[in-house]
A and B are shown apart, each in its own frame.
Chain A
Amino acid sequence: MATLELKSLWKEYGDDVVLERLNATVETGEFVTIVGASGCGKTTFLKMLLGTESPTRGELLLDGKPIPDEPDETRGIVFQRYSVLPHLTAERNVMLAGELESSRFLGHTFGRMRLALRNEARQMLEDVGLGHAMHKYPHELSGGMQQRLAIAQALMKKPRILLLDEPFGALDPGIRRDMHKLVLKLWREQNLTVFMITHDLEEGFFLGTRLWVFDKDRLDPQAPGAYGARITYDLPVGRDDAHTLDSIADRVDSTARALND
Chain B
Amino acid sequence: MKKLINRHPGIVSRWALGLLPFLLIAVIYTAASTARLEENPNDKLLPSASAMADAMHRMAFEPSKRTGDYVLWTDTAASLQRLAIGVGLAALVGLVFGIANGAIPLFRAGLSPLITGISLVPPMAMLPILFIAFGLEELAKVMLIFIGITPFLIRDLQQRTEEIPEEQIIKMQTLGANTWQIIVRLVWPQIMPRLIAAVRLSLGSAWLFLIAAEAIAATDGLGYRIFLVRRYLAMDVILPYVVWITLLAFVIDLVLRRYSAWRYPWFHGRTA
Task: Give A residues with C-beta under 8 Å from B.
Answer: 50, 52, 70-73, 75-77, 79, 81-88, 96-97, 99-101, 104-108, 137-140, 153-154, 156-157, 159
| CA gap between A77 and B177 in the complex, in Å | 14
Closest A residue to B176 by beta carbon equals A73
Residue of A76, A87, A100, A106 touching B177 (CB-CB under 8 A): A100
Closest A residue to B178 by beta carbon equals A104
| CA gap between A139 and B168 in the complex, in Å | 15
Decide if A154 touches B165 in the complex (CB within 8 Å). no
Decide if A87 touches B174 in the complex (CB within 8 Å). no
Q: Which 10 residue pairs of A and B lie closest in terms of their CB atoms, listed nearest first?
A: A71-B173, A82-B167, A73-B176, A82-B165, A107-B185, A107-B181, A137-B266, A97-B175, A79-B167, A139-B270
Residue of B176, B186, B269 touching A85 (CB-CB under 8 A): B186
The 0/1 profile, CB within 8 Å of A marked 1, for residues 17-57 of chain B is: 00000000000000000000000000000000000000000
Chain A residues contacting B112 (CB-CB under 8 Å) are none
Residue of A50, A86, A108, A153 touching B175 (CB-CB under 8 A): A153
Decide if B181 touches A77 in the complex (CB within 8 Å). no
Q: Say what secondary structure dominates the interface of chain B.
A: helix
Chain B residues contacting A88 (CB-CB under 8 Å) are 266
30 cross-chain CB contacts under 8 A: A50-B170, A52-B170, A71-B173, A72-B174, A72-B176, A73-B175, A75-B174, A76-B174, A81-B167, A82-B168, A84-B171, A85-B171, A85-B172, A86-B266, A86-B267, A88-B266, A96-B175, A96-B185, A100-B177, A100-B185, A104-B181, A105-B180, A106-B184, A107-B180, A107-B181, A107-B184, A107-B185, A108-B185, A139-B270, A153-B171
The 0/1 profile, CB within 8 Å of A marked 1, for residues 233-259 of chain B is: 000000000000000000000000000
Chain B residues contacting A50 (CB-CB under 8 Å) are 170, 174
Decide if B174 touches A154 in the complex (CB within 8 Å). yes
| CA gap between A105 and B264 in the complex, in Å | 24
Chain A residues contacting B175 (CB-CB under 8 Å) are 73, 96-97, 100, 153-154, 156-157
The 0/1 profile, CB within 8 Å of A marked 1, for residues 132-159 of chain B is: 0000000000000000000000000000
Chain A residues contacting B173 (CB-CB under 8 Å) are 70-72
| CA gap between A86 and B177 in the complex, in Å | 17
What is the minimal beta-carbon distance from A148 to any residue of chain B, in angstroms?
A: 15
Task: Give B residues with C-beta under 8 Å from A.
Answer: 165, 167-168, 170-178, 180-181, 184-186, 189-190, 264-267, 269-270
Tell me whether A86 and B170 are in contact in the complex, defined as CB-CB below 8 angstroms, given that A97-B175, A104-B178 are known contacts. Answer: no
Tell me whether A139 and B266 are in contact in the complex, defined as CB-CB below 8 angstroms, given that A72-B176, A100-B185 are known contacts. Answer: yes
| CA gap between A75 and B171 in the complex, in Å | 10
Tell me whether A139 and B176 are in contact in the complex, defined as CB-CB below 8 angstroms, given that A85-B171, A100-B181 are known contacts. Answer: no
Tell me whether A71 and B266 are in contact in the complex, defined as CB-CB below 8 angstroms, given that A86-B190, A97-B175 are known contacts. Answer: no
| CA gap between A156 and B172 in the complex, in Å | 13
| CA gap between A88 and B189 in the complex, in Å | 9
Chain B residues contacting A77 (CB-CB under 8 Å) are 170-171, 174
Tell me whether A157 and B174 are in contact in the complex, defined as CB-CB below 8 angstroms, given that A82-B168, A85-B168, A100-B181 are known contacts. Answer: yes
Chain A residues contacting B265 (CB-CB under 8 Å) are 137
| CA gap between A76 and B180 in the complex, in Å | 20
| CA gap between A40 and B175 in the complex, in Å | 29
Chain B residues contacting A140 (CB-CB under 8 Å) are 269
| CA gap between A157 and B175 in the complex, in Å | 6
| CA gap between A134 and B171 in the complex, in Å | 20
Chain A residues contacting B266 (CB-CB under 8 Å) are 86-88, 137-139
What is the minimal beta-carbon distance from B270 to any residue of chain A, in angstroms?
A: 5
Decide if A71 touches B170 in the complex (CB within 8 Å). yes
Chain B residues contacting A75 (CB-CB under 8 Å) are 174
| CA gap between A73 and B172 in the complex, in Å | 9
Chain B residues contacting A137 (CB-CB under 8 Å) are 265-266, 269
Closest A residue to B264 by beta carbon equals A87
| CA gap between A88 and B267 in the complex, in Å | 11
Chain A residues contacting B267 (CB-CB under 8 Å) are 86-87
Closest A residue to B189 by beta carbon equals A87
Decide if B269 touches A139 in the complex (CB within 8 Å). yes
Chain A residues contacting B184 (CB-CB under 8 Å) are 106-107
| CA gap between A83 and B174 in the complex, in Å | 11
Residue of B178, B185, B270 touching A86 (CB-CB under 8 A): B270
Chain B residues contacting A139 (CB-CB under 8 Å) are 266, 269-270
